Chains A and B, each alone.
Chain A
Amino acid sequence: EAGVTQSPTHLIKTRGQHATLRCSPISGHTSVYWYQQALGLGLQFLLWYDEGEERNRGNFPPRFSGRQFPNYSSELNVNALELEDSALYLCASSQGAVQPQHFGDGTRLSIL
């Protein structure tokens, strides 16, 4: 069984640009979660999608957005990139909202 896959592995952008990060969940999982892991701050919850709908979002500005496609894959979009957006972005999936989440290896976003 393939795990959660994320692409790209690394992404380098400059301030003001736009970034798109992609995630494919484990087959059969309908919930997808996005987290930001910045140095020294642990994981901060960004977004939760289930069955194509945004179910909840964390305390992040609206320039962080995303969507979930009919095949349950997801993308995270970050507009107007700022230096502090540099972090590891982790995607996770689960079979249901309260089931354990399975994580991908992340996309490291670096803002120059």
Chain B
Amino acid sequence: AQSVTQLDSQVPVFEEAPVELRCNYSSSVSVYLFWYVQYPNQGLQLLLKYLSGSTLVKGINGFEAEFNKSQTSFHLRKPSVHISDTAEYFCAVITLGGNTGNQFYFGTGTSLTVIP
């Protein structure tokens, strides 16, 4: 079965410290990977995407993520966080084709709280 696991439901971090939000997926077919951010009472905004090519992808607001096929991971990182980064972060996977067609999976989210 396909799934997305975000290992940390809550991550507190001090302002200007680095942060890593972890995401692992399971899939037997090809995948496309995404990270989204959700601010309170808003929809989701795309942070970055991996479709193909370089496994290190850079997104908006200084975030980056690395696709590791052998570890089936797509962890999100930022070297120095700001108060404004406080939000909910979702890892998402699109699995391609197979018997059930394209499928769309989101993790349960990681709540990032930046402490002044």
Contacts and interface: CB of A to CB of B under 8 A. Distances in A.
Interface of A: 4, 33, 35, 40-45, 48, 55-56, 58, 90, 92, 97-98, 100-106
B104 A48 contact: yes
Interface string B88-104: 00101010100011111
Given A4-B43, A100-B34, A40 B108 contact: yes
A4 B46 CA distance: 13
A43 B90 contact: yes
Interface residues of B, number: 25
Interface of B: 32, 34, 36, 41-46, 49, 51, 90, 92, 94, 96, 100-109
A98 B106 contact: no
A41 B36 CA distance: 16
A97 B45 CA distance: 17
Contacts of A43: 44, 90, 92, 106
A35 B104 CA distance: 10
B104 A42 contact: no
A42 B108 contact: yes
A103 B45 contact: yes
Contact of B46 (A41, A58, A97, A102): A102
A34 to B, nearest CB: 10
28 contacts: A33-B104, A40-B108, A41-B108, A42-B90, A42-B108, A43-B90, A43-B106, A45-B104, A45-B106, A48-B102, A48-B104, A56-B100, A56-B101, A56-B103, A90-B43, A90-B44, A92-B43, A97-B94, A98-B102, A100-B34, A101-B44, A101-B104, A102-B46, A103-B43, A103-B44, A103-B45, A104-B43, A105-B42
A5 to B, nearest CB: 10
B108 to A, nearest CB: 4
Contacts of A58: 104
A58 B95 CA distance: 13
Given A4-B43, A90-B43, A103-B43, A42 B109 contact: yes
Contacts of B94: 97-98
A29 to B, nearest CB: 13
